Every structure is written in structure tokens, then in C-alpha cells.
Chain A
Amino acid sequence: MNDVVDRGGAWAVVGAGPHGLSALKNLLELGLDADGFERDTDLGGNWNFHAENSRVYESTHLISTKPFTQFPDFPMPDAYPDYPSHWQVHRYFRSYAEHFGLLDHLAFNSEVVSVTPVAGERWDVTVRDRESGVETTRQYAGVVIANGHNWWPKIPQYPGQDTFTGEIKHSADYKSADVVRGKRVLVVGAGNTGCDVAVESAQNAKETFHSTRRGYYYNPKYAFGRPSDQTADLLLALRLPLALRRVMFKSVLRLTVGDFEKFGLRKPDHEFFETHPIVNQQLVYYVGHGDIQPKPDIDRLDGSTVYFEDGTSAEIDVIVFCTGYLAHFPFLDDSYLNPEGDHPVLARQIFTPATPTLAVSGLIQPDSGQWTIAHWQGMLIATYAALRAQDPVAAQRFYDAIVSETGVRFTGGAEYKDSTRHYYEIAHQEYLRAIERDLQRLESMAPAISGSLAAAR
């Protein structure tokens, strides 16, 4: 192609959700040039409620509190509650972008349609203007992929599903309780979305059934007057071992919520921290009211009847599959992300062994808030990019060392249940410690980046 615009040492950032914004901000902060591309007309990614690929619903609130959820260099306003709503979160991202001057470096309505390698480990990024349809290609020194992993629905198949006469929806289509109002509803899946939808259905539907594969620990948002995630961080700060933390968490649940089995819920078939935490104080409450009827996995469907594995059945108008999402990179040849089956296997969930100038941010599911990690992922990528510009040989040394740890997981000592849901699960403190070590390593390789500081200016 002869009409490729050469962007020199600049990096491209795909997506303007929290991870894209953080990558962009940190690249710029370290003095690199960077362009961000967002397919929607506004930033925020998943948190941009009106966007086509936003998966938040009207009632979405954070399930982790501000201290770990916020960017460490841009705390959320004191006026926000412990668990802000998605509207507040979106406003927060906007003020972050404005404060750090990111809007000048962001192109909206700009869908990245292809990211292809060219000689010298550089990348051609082709972007389609969604209004005019015009495509332009620019060449970059590197690409940060931050297109999210919670937007491409994973829909299960059960025997007889095509005979089902009611409506089948995925939580991706669930924006408000209008979907379930006055109907007989089956919610499938006990992720945090599944539990939110089951609760909202209990408040609005005629009848609500909640089908889950196994029993889970339903954690309260508050226990003993403190947000639960802050207590979890306190126990980690005190360096309590996993076994002790398990005992403490289970006793707190016992004391505050009670025995799940007495509510008719199943006993968890696994240990605490072996599945992604569910934070929902209301689910058990509605089960206690009989407004949510717990059910095991679906066996088969027939007409308007759903049969469950325990032999019971129910008449259903709407099924809402809250069965999660899969990562999806429609603009990139999968092989560059070292796929294993249906998911990429990376080093630190960021670097791919296939190429040194491609980085992924946001392919994580922490047992905590997320954007403190977004910040440090962005900082690690930016520092690495700065080192590449300054000393490619040293950068390659760092890259080789880090990709030799491809596939290493950060589980905090727990063994995650085998499920697509845990592909990107990380124990947040253990993960951040690893990122910090990497950052220290990078900075020691390039003192000018860590800023032999003011003197350098």
C-alpha cells in the first residue's frame, strides 16, 4: 500500500475504555506519541451505557469500592458513594481523559478493522470512520489492544433449545428490567451479572428461577459496617495465609448471611477463592422471600417447559443467559496472541510470545476492583515502549525474560475451577507485585525513564 501514513515511533491504542485510556495516558506521560481509536462516539467502553457494545445495565453499580477500583493517580471524588453507579463511573472516565488531555489523542467513531504486522516489528493499523466509511491506514511502532473481554456473548446450547417457544436473551441484551417485567423468567448463571439480573427479576417479574451449575459463596457488599473488599485487602496487607483467610471469610459469611443450604441454595462444591467472587447482598434475601427459586443446571428444553437436572421443571417465558463473554479480536489474526483453544495465553496477561511490539491491556479478571491494575498495566506497557525507543537491545532482553514466563498464572495460591470464566482470573495483590518487579527491572535498565528526574529536563 502506498497511502500508509507513517506515525514513526508512535503507538496505537485500540479502545477507549478504562484500560485504553490508562495506556494512552501513560504512553503520553512518558513522552511517547500515541493515538487512541474508539469505535463509539464516546469514551468509556463497557461503561459507555449507550454504546452498541456496552454491557452495563441501568442498575449497574460497581461491586468493588473506590480505593482499589480507581486509578491511583486520579481518585474518584469523595462525593461518590462506596459503590458508584455506572453513570458516575462514566463521568469519572471523562474527567480523567479531560484532565490528562487525552481527547486530543483520541479518534472517535473510528473502528479498528485490521492490525497487521509489517517489517521491523511494526504494525499497520487500518481504521474505518464509521460515519463516512472511509478507511485509513497508519503505521505504528507498537499496538496496545484494549478492546475489552466482556462484550462478545458466550451462549450455551441445551438439548431442545430450538424447540423453546419463549424468548431467549443473553445478558448482553439486558439493559433494564423491561426485559423481564411481568414474565416467568429463568436466569442462567451465577456470575455477578446473573445475580444482579436475578435480583432485578425478583423485583419485577412474575416468577424468577435461577439456574446455576454449582453452589457459590454469595458475599455481602458490607460486613460489620465495612466494605468487604477493603476487609479482604486488610487481611492481605497483614499477610495472612490463604487457609486462614478462607476460614475467616467463611465464618464472616456464616455470621452475617448464614447457612446457604437453609435458604435452599446448594452448598458450594469448592473452596473460597477458587471461583471469581460474587458480591451480592440481595440475592439470598430474595431467595428467602421466595421471589427467586434456585435451580440446578438445565437438562433440556421442550416448548415452554424447562427441565432441570434434578428432575424438576418450570414454565418459562424468558430465559436470560448470564453466561459470560469471550475475548474476541476481530481485527487481528489470532495467532499473534498465542491462542490455546478459545483464549490467548500471555505473559503477565499482557505480552505475547509471538511478537514484542503488541501488548494487551485489560485481559484480566481480578478478585478486586480493576482500574488500579489498569493503571499499572498501562504504566508497564508505556515504560517498556519508552525503553524500546531508547535502547532496543535492553528492551528485547526484558521482553525475552518476560515471555519466558508465558502462561504463568497469579492465583494467590488457590486453584481456580476450570471454566471459561477463569481464563483471565488473577489474585490482584500477587499480580500487582509481579508488575511492580517488572517495572523496577525496566526502570533500572533505563534510568532516564524513571527520570533521573528533574535534572533530565
Chain B
Amino acid sequence: MSRLRRPSKVMRMWDWSVPPTSAHREVLSIVPEGWIDEPRATRKPPILFVHGLAHGAWCWREQWMPAAAERGFPVYAVSLRGHGDSGGRKRLGRTLLRHYVHDVMQTITELPQQPVLVGHSMGALVSQLVADRYQPRGLALLTPAPIQGAAYELPKLIRKRPLDALKVVAGGTLPLRSEQLFTGLDETTAARYVDRLGRESPWAQYELLIPHRIGPVRCPVLVVGTPDDRVVDEKAVEVTAAAYGVDPVWLPGIGHDLMLDGGWEKALSVVLDWIDERC
């Protein structure tokens, strides 16, 4: 873990002087009837899902949202700007992680209670940056983008997929193919999902390469990884878990997109059981 000087939690000068612009936000939700006005009617905390690189709120809507709602959780998923049906696509080339943090914060303040934040991949990094200023009920990080910065992955990428590496360096979106995201999904379904992937902000992608000094947090933290992840390696998961003093939960047999891949039920129950027990 790098010995970075922790950026100040208090003196957020850039946020004060050059605040993020606003963008239309797509927020999907499934909540019990009347819950908004009577949030304590359910004993379950709301869950807010934050998607990863090039994904959108839709990736949660396929399987996890209906299943979690079935178990009684009020569930929300936000599309970060430039993703899914959110606005800001034209400004994607000028979008930074702090804009994504702003989008998540805006979604949070519309909820009647503090949610459990569930972030996937780049969304896990965004969720950690959110938790650095706001205390959620819990913080679940699924196959998280490495907080130590993904630069160490570059040589591997250059060796294995030189054209992809070149593209990323030039500011293009990291190509994600079905064999990287899924291990147990039929081809048609996998192709359908991959088709829905959009573009990513080049600046946000560059920010994924550099280390982020975050935490500690006061809420419970869950870190989930899979040895069969072909986007985020085990080291990234371990370093993230260590930063919060927890042991990662490993889910072999599932790919990077564990909310869509075959076996998603298993991954979801790990998260929901943890919320029931700890949050």
C-alpha cells in the first residue's frame, strides 16, 4: 500500500470553488408501497447500487434488484452521468470520478434513510470516495477497482491485449468482452449484456490507474472477490479488504460481473445475508 498523504477530508477546496455541474440522473428503484413516507415500516435498510465502468443502472435491474426486493429490501440503482439513461453523455470527455461521487451523493440525499452502498468495480471505488465524506449504513465492495491504482495491471494488459492497452492510453474505453465478464452464461445472454455496455470517461479511466488513499470508515464493510475475475485480480481485492481490516469473501466460479453472471444468486445472498447480519 502506498504511503500517500491522505487528502484532506475537511478542506475540499475544489468542490467549493469549482463545484461539479449537475446532470440528469437515471435512478431505478423497487420499493415497497408507502415506504418513502414510512421508511421504518420495513426493518430492512435501503440499498443503493453503483455500477462499474461502462455499465449502467440496468445491470442491477436484470437480476439483483427484483430478487433483493423480493427479500424485502427497498432497492435503488443510479446510472452515473454519461451512463445508462442518465444525461451528461456529451460531457463524458470532461467527466472525473468526483462527478460520479456527486451523482451518488445527490441520489443518497433523496433517500429517506441512510442506505447500504453496494458498488461494483469502478463503482466500488466511487462508493469508497462517497463513504469518505458520508457515512452509509454499510459499504459493500464487489470485485472492486484497485485502490492502489490499476497502473500495475498495464504491463499485463500490454502483453495480453496490446491493442486494448493502446486504446485506453489514447483515451478510448477499455473494451470489455463477454469472456472477461462472465464464466457461466449462455452466449446469447452474454452478448446481449455486452451490447449494452457504453463508453467510459477517459479521465475517470486514468484516475483508476492512480492510487487512492481512502478510509477508514465507521460503518461495516464487505469486500467480495472472485478468483475467476478476468478484469480485477485477486491482489486488488486483497489490498482493498486490508485497507478496511476485513477478510475478503471469495466466490469461485463467478466472473467479474457477478450481478449478471451464472451464480448471481449465490453472490447476492452473500451480500444480503451480510446486510441482515451487520447493517
Contact = CB atoms under 8 A, between A and B. Distances in A.
Interface stretch (B11-19, B230-238, B253-261): B11-19
B105 A29 contact: no
Interface stretch (A148-156, A306-314, A430-438): A430-438
B266 interface: no
A75 interface: yes
B162 interface: no
Contacts of B110: 77
Contacts of A454: 139, 216-217, 219-221, 244-246
A225 to B, nearest CB: 13
B214 to A, nearest CB: 11
Contacts of A457: 219-220, 278
Interface centre among B16, B133, B219, B246 (most CB of A within 10 A): B16
Interface stretch (A95-103, A263-271, A317-325): A95-103
Given A435-B10, A454-B244, A230 B18 contact: yes
Nearest to A457: B220
A435 B215 CA distance: 19
A231 interface: yes
Contacts of A237: 13-14, 16-17
A451 B217 contact: yes
Interface stretch (A65-73, A201-209, A216-224): A65-73
B216 A75 contact: no
Contacts of B221: 453-454
B42 interface: no
A234 B109 contact: no
Given A236-B13, A376-B10, A457-B220, A230 B109 contact: no
Interface majority SS on B: helix, strand, loop or mixed? loop
A65 B18 CA distance: 12
A77 B218 CA distance: 25
B33 to A, nearest CB: 19
A299 B220 CA distance: 66
A30 B135 CA distance: 10
Nearest to A376: B10
B114 interface: yes
A234 B22 contact: no
B111 A99 contact: yes
A107 B217 CA distance: 30
A191 to B, nearest CB: 24
Contacts of B215: 453
Interface string A7-40: 0000000000000000000000110000000000
A68 B246 contact: no
A319 B132 CA distance: 50
Interface in A224-249: 230-231, 233-234, 236-237
Nearest to A435: B10
Interface centre among B11, B12, B19, B113 (most CB of A within 10 A): B19
Nearest to A82: B19
B129 to A, nearest CB: 13
B155 interface: no
Contacts of A233: 13, 16-17
A32 to B, nearest CB: 13
A197 interface: no
Interface string B188-216: 00000000000000000000000000011
Contact of B10 (A101, A230, A439, A452): A439
B218 A78 contact: no
B134 interface: yes
A384 B90 CA distance: 47
Nearest to A30: B218
Contacts of A452: 216, 245
Interface in A409-457: 429, 432-433, 435-436, 439, 450-455, 457
B245 A455 contact: yes
A74 interface: yes
A433 B16 contact: no
B104 to A, nearest CB: 11
B8 interface: yes
Given A101-B114, A432-B10, 9 more contacts: A73-B133, A73-B135, A75-B102, A95-B109, A99-B111, A230-B19, A233-B16, A237-B14, A237-B17
Interface of A: 29-30, 65-68, 72-75, 77-78, 95, 98-101, 230-231, 233-234, 236-237, 372, 376, 429, 432-433, 435-436, 439, 450-455, 457
Interface of B: 8-19, 22, 102, 105-106, 109-114, 133-135, 139, 215-221, 244-246, 278
28 contacts: A66-B19, A72-B133, A73-B133, A74-B134, A75-B105, A75-B109, A77-B106, A78-B22, A99-B112, A230-B16, A230-B19, A231-B17, A233-B13, A233-B17, A234-B17, A234-B18, A236-B13, A237-B16, A432-B10, A451-B217, A451-B218, A453-B216, A453-B217, A453-B221, A454-B216, A454-B245, A457-B219, A457-B220
Q: Nearest 6 A-B pairs (CB), nearest first?
A: A455-B245, A78-B22, A237-B13, A234-B17, A454-B221, A453-B216
